[in-house]
Amino acid sequence: MTTSKRRYHITTFGCQMNKADSERMAGILEDMGFEFSEDPNNADVILYNTCTIRDNAEQKVYSYLGRQAKRKHEQPNLTLVVAGCVAQQEGESLLRRVPELDLVMGPQHANRLKDLLESVFEGNQVVATEPVHIMEDITQPRRDSKVTAWVNVIYGCNERCTYCVVPNVRGVEQSRTPEAIRAEMEELGQQGYKEITLLGQNIDAYGRDLPGVTSEGRHLHTFTDLLYYVHDVPGIERLRFATSHPRYFTERLIKACAELPKVCEHFHIPFQSGDNEVLKAMARGYTHEKYRRIIDTIRRYMPDASISADAIVGFPGETEEQFENTLKLVDDIGFDQLNTAAYSPRPGTPAAWWTNQLSEEVKNDRLQRLNHLVNVKAAERSQRYFGRIEEVLVEDQNPKDKTQVMGRTRGNRLAFFTGDINELKGQLVKVKITEVRAFSLTGEPIEVRQAMPV
């Protein structure tokens, strides 16, 4: 008699860190003999890797969970796991809310999934949320793409922005060693990956927790040094990184990006607000003038660099005039893309307690006004690509038009052109841009550049 393989399903919410963690956890599950199931209703282990950055992100998790918890009454062998930031935030109380859960595990425990599950299979209900030192993981992640990959460089965040749950749920900064990062990148290069995004919540903080200082008194391992150390990994054609914090973004880093050919001319530097009083209340540690200087410096070295950011509207006490300063910053800088959000009070953060909260109406109205401006500016910024030849790294078929492939330009704009994915996947193609939209481009292929042999 053959027994069919046990199956697992993962749904991922939230940011790139969660996506990277999910890929690692999927790798561990496959190592344990599980097979991926797209449909959660066919899976024996269901894992939700959760996000709690805003209330609506968290509520979404509960509605998914409710459905599966019900199913567990008919299928008692089903294993239900909540990982990620809601797990860390809620811990034990999640078990009281959803007693059907088998395992609640914070993001720092992603690498320990095998041990934790084994304990569950022995009949325990497990909560793993205590702070731990994150070990190097030896199992292979199951990566979603064969072309682009994430590589963590630093976990956690030591900032204390007054609106943000991340430090509570991701713990203190823990940098991986340059050697471990490079080793992972080399392996990716050998496996045929072409693009790597280095990840950290506050990537400029890289190395602060590693030992050693230089003769000038700066940390021996800064993010800039890391870029120099990894930029020539064979096979890798493009490097990106996120997220940068304006407080620590240095000219030295900008110079390195301009100098190192594989580093793409795209910078994601959240500013959150264009008003100095609001920035102060957020405890961001910079002014809008400093933010503008950073962008000016980037554009001095790389005039065509694309710039994206995150912004929050309706922070407690934000006046109409202060909000207009955000609009002004967006208008002046001209972002290629901006992730916008209405402020959402989060448990365990200082700003949630303040009495000067704004109404949902005001927050939504500001969000809409900001989004409108973002679209106008992005469309303007897109115009510069018209008629130009851009290098596109082909990632996939265009899901809406199978005769086309899609990929990204160095500036991180989505681009489409006619072609066969089987021939083009993972290729760098020179594309003449014939159509521009606010956030994407269409063009005609001119030339396929043969990637350098590994």
Site residues, ligand SAH (CB under 6 A):
53-54, 163-164, 166, 201-202, 243, 245, 270, 272, 310, 312, 341, 343-344, 346
CA triplet 203, 206, 209: central angle to 5 degrees? 140
Instruction: Say if residue 257 carries a ligand binding annotation.
Output: no
Query: Of 262, 275, 265, 270, whose CA–CA distance to 202 is shortest?
Result: 270
Task: State yes or no: residue 18 binds ligand F3S (CB under 6 A).
Answer: yes
Kindly indicate which of the ranges 131-139, 161-169, 171-179, 433-441 contains the residues binding ligand F3S, using the contact rule CB under 6 A: 161-169
CB of 51 to ligand F3S, least distance (A): 3
Task: State yes or no: residue 14 binds ligand F3S (CB under 6 A).
Answer: yes
Instruction: Say if residue 157 carries a ligand binding annotation.
Output: yes
Task: State yes or no: residue 166 binds ligand SF4 (CB under 6 A).
Answer: yes
Query: Of 358, 334, 357, 345, whose CA–CA distance to 162 is shortest?
Result: 345
Residues paired with 174 in a beta bridge:
155
Instruction: Say if residue 85 carries a ligand binding annotation.
Output: yes
CA distances from 386 to 45, 47, 246, 435 (A): 48, 44, 31, 7
Binding site partner of 167, from ligand SAH, ligand F3S, ligand SF4, none, Cβ cut-off 5-8 A by kind = ligand SF4
Task: State yes or no: residue 54 binds ligand SF4 (CB under 6 A).
Answer: no
**Cβ neighbours of residue 223 closer than 8 Å, sequence gap 6 or more:** 153, 203, 204, 205, 206, 207, 241, 253
Structure tokens, 97:
């809310």
Binding site partner of 346, from ligand SAH, ligand F3S, ligand SF4, none, Cβ cut-off 5-8 A by kind = ligand SAH
> What x-and-dash track marks residues 371-390 binding ligand F3S by CB under 6 A?
--------------------
**Cβ neighbours of residue 441 closer than 8 Å, sequence gap 6 or more:** 382, 385, 390, 409, 413, 414, 415, 416, 433, 435
Q: Which is nearer to ligand F3S, 12 or 409 (CB)?
A: 12
Residue where the block lists tokens 């602060």: 208
**Cβ neighbours of residue 254 closer than 8 Å, sequence gap 6 or more:** 294, 297, 298, 301, 302
Segment 194 to 253, residues that bind ligand SF4, using CB under 6 A: 201-202, 245
Instruction: Please give the Cα distance from 429 to 444 (Å, whole number).
Output: 10
Q: Which is nearer to ligand SAH, 244 or 382 (CB)?
A: 244
- Which residues contribute to the site for ligand F3S (CB under 6 A)? 14-15, 17-18, 51-53, 84-85, 165-166, 169-170
- What residues are designated binding site for [4Fe-4S] cluster? 15, 51, 85, 157, 161, 164
